[in-house]
Structure 1
């Protein structure tokens, strides 16, 4: 073998050696999680101490994932020394990081688009009215409404459409952000020739009604629940069960369609070791999907990864009301929606097929779109990251 050929061989061995550190870390992290679940805190602490001594350059998605999980488990064992992320999830910085996450991951972006399609289909089922009212309990991706305005302008060329958006704000910071969005969307709607009414409402759950939200009898009413429900306490946290209470309140509004967009992750009531394993699998795929599109120097990618780190940390390190991250799989959402009185409006195989053609044309071979049990599933390398479904 010539000397010229040796450097690549050495570099390959180095890469194997570095990646093996991450591979070896995962079983130990799961072992630590099991020890924590069984009350063997001393064993878990020793495992985490040994892992902390291993150098982790955090230069790829696997290494970052291991670092995030190590920090989360250390917070779980020693919350005083390593405070878990709780307050961070309610800051404007976190809101910004989550918006970056929605923008950078194609699976999230496509799931919002599928929700828009369901809203448009509900409007098209009632051609006698040109009024569409969308109630949104947590506008996460502002571009969802840019795209909805584009769709309405393109598909309703004959009669001018009136789009009313009622956005609920749960804080002063959220209300200010929504006011900025209102100003921007108003200008964009004027360019598109769509009449836009944007109302910002601050109400308690018990106060929600058609009258309080400005619903009118001659409009198509849609409710957009995109990445809202998983952050609300359920029956495992509180007898109030605001998660199911919101669904019952929404059902009482009698909407023509409710769009539900959620992450496909069993992270609510699963046993702790399973929760850790699920978090490793889900957030590992999500990290890879982000890093595949943007270089490591991207500030937006860094912001999204920081939000992802907080999410993972909260889901693993916290319990009770402090654990805000409580994702469920689509099967459980189907049960909750059914208990609230909703019926599924299947998006259909044609919808999944059309989105699959879109990602294929864009050269995104890592993403697959598939209809399963009436929901539209968006997958990254075989792992379902998001599911969009429609209900009435």
Structure 2
């Protein structure tokens, strides 16, 4: 099921329900965050984004379109996978009964194993074996089928991009595609529609709210503002907290978006930060909150309190939600901007650092291991989307086109061209420790509202929350997809 930012906002002391007037006003403010005077510009952007998504879908279709079926009397080879269904109908229903038939469990397992075997063959330089498997996998892939068929299509694109010479062309997306306006729009869609991402951001908000409560001046350094969707829930929760404590003075809040001028993500989104900040300020004003938004362009090595505009007496919080994985590490640059940033942040002595990242190693792992990680991670993620989005929805097509580009980049590229460099929590914990941070565990009073929120919005018990060592893992069945943690 879908759930909006207003529905998912969790405030401290949420036993008391907000008044209907405040709730109505906040819902209206939420609608206004991205739908204001810039509607015409947004429509143009959306039109351009649609072309990008369509082009990627066409490429995927070219890659995965099944060959002509064999004559009816022909007998399939013993190890050949069943071909995926075609999608000629233009009126596909979103119900399970009218969705494309799924691969059998055995065929799905065989497809997944063949993907892994092909990755090993490529790593070993056995391109002939990889090409042979490609012909079989092509019949199992369907980017509009069930989750396993979609995964096969996505991961087959990554394999094709690694084969030399590729049999049907190279499908590696450019860095410009990965850092485009469409990237940020599809990212926001995923954050809104997937509980694993949405609840991770809510947990980050709770960590910041808890660490800064009762302070008259709050300063948030945000290294990945994106389209600002996280602040809809943050301001909603803060407004509710003020309603429950009418005698308390409303804090003055500063939000500073920190952008690295050398990052391709900044060069393609830098101008949008001001517009996002303007919308956040207006949203806060209408909710009765005082918020100032600013942008600072600095490389990690140049960050200090003066450059960031930190002031005495502020309660400083740092938001690193889905930010660190996009910053190059020691495998890309000897200067190791990732660890440099953490050391610089530690020197600021913030009250809290909120962190959310995907639980997958696509940074330093070797190709075959990286491919296996991606198969497990994206397989679970694509399956979880069946519980929140119709298979034939335009929103899902947009999100999955973006996920496919990310998956191909994380698997099929090397060096500086690989901008998707996630790590598992154990590695993040080691980095945070080396930078001088200590864990700041989520307290039960913060965890319970998140669990309650998941219980209230999920329609499928496959979504899980795993509490371990004071951090929260959000996942699908037995696979953790995102982890939220806080530090000091």
Q: Do these two structures clear the TM 0.5 threshold for a shared fold by scoring above it?
A: yes
Displacement, 1:335?
0.4
**Range that drifts further, 288-297 or 340-349:** 288-297
Displacement, 1:34?
0.8
Structural mapping, 1:1-392, within 5 Å:
15=101, 21-52=107-138, 56=142, 58-78=144-164, 81-87=169-175, 88-124=177-213, 127=214, 129-140=215-226, 142-156=228-242, 157=246, 158-169=248-259, 170=261, 171-364=266-459, 365-392=461-488
Q: Which residue of 1 aligns with 2:25?
A: none
C-alpha distance 175-324 of structure 1, shift in aligned 2 (>3 A): closer
C-alpha distance 193-79 of structure 1, shift in aligned 2 (>3 A): farther
Deviations 1:366-389 (A, max 9, x none): 222122122111121121111111
CA–CA distance in 2 between the matches of 1:198 and 1:65?
Answer: 40
The DSSP-based 3-state class of the residue aligned with 2:305 is: coil
Deviations 1:336-390 (A, max 9, x none): 0000011110113443333222222334422221221221111211211111111
C-alpha distance 214-208 of structure 1, shift in aligned 2 (>3 A): same
C-alpha distance 305-57 of structure 1, shift in aligned 2 (>3 A): closer
Deviations 1:94-131 (A, max 9, x none): 2221221111111100000000100011112xx3x311
CA–CA distance in 2 between the matches of 1:318 and 1:57?
Answer: 22
| Runs of at least 5 residues in structure 2 that lack an aligned partner in the other structure | 1-96
Q: TM-score, normalised by structure 2?
A: 0.73
CA-atom RMSD, angstroms? 2.2
CA–CA distance in 1 between the matches of 2:434 and 2:156?
Answer: 38
| Count, aligned residues | 378
The answer as to whether partners of 1:349 and 1:370 remain within 8 angstroms in 2 is no
Displacement, 1:19?
6.3
The answer as to whether partners of 1:135 and 1:224 remain within 8 angstroms in 2 is yes
The answer as to whether partners of 1:237 and 1:321 remain within 8 angstroms in 2 is yes
**Range that drifts further, 342-351 or 188-197:** 342-351
**Range that drifts further, 104-113 or 347-356:** 347-356
Deviations 1:16-73 (A, max 9, x none): 6666554322111111111112222222222223323556463222111101101100
C-alpha distance 16-204 of structure 1, shift in aligned 2 (>3 A): closer
Q: Which residue of 1 aligns with 2:82?
A: none
CA–CA distance in 2 between the matches of 1:112 and 1:390?
Answer: 12
The DSSP-based 3-state class of the residue aligned with 1:243 is: helix
CA–CA distance in 2 between the matches of 1:280 and 1:55?
Answer: 14
The answer as to whether partners of 1:22 and 1:66 remain within 8 angstroms in 2 is no
CA–CA distance in 2 between the matches of 1:55 and 1:263?
Answer: 25
**Range that drifts further, 50-59 or 335-344:** 50-59
Displacement, 1:299?
1.8
The answer as to whether partners of 1:100 and 1:300 remain within 8 angstroms in 2 is yes
Q: Which residue of 2 aligns with 1:7?
A: none
